[in-house]
Amino acid sequence: VWECAPLDAPDWFDAEAGQWDEQADRYDAGRAADPQYLSQILEGIRRLRAGPTDRVLDAGCGTGLAARRLAGRVGELACVDAS
């Protein structure tokens, strides 16, 4: 049985955040260099057809790879990620 600390436990959050902070640059560089992954991101953005009057939520934004490509193209952009 797997046990998990409550999400409001400061020690758990700090450890999780620290782990992602250490990996973020490597993860982002790897994804940005992966032509198949990047093409899927760009195709998703194209299909979204969001414009300057649209409000977009990027839920699960990770390091912001898609959000950085949407910034400046949409009216409002909000990004959240549990990590």
- Dist. CA 28–CA 3, nearest whole Å: 30
- H-helix or E-strand containing 79? strand 76-80
The pLDDT tens digits of the residues spanning 10-59 come to 777 788 788 888 888 888 888 889 999 999 999 999 999 999 999 999 99
Nearest to 76 by CA among 54, 59, 60: 54
pLDDT band at 8 (very low <50, low <70, confident <90, very high): low
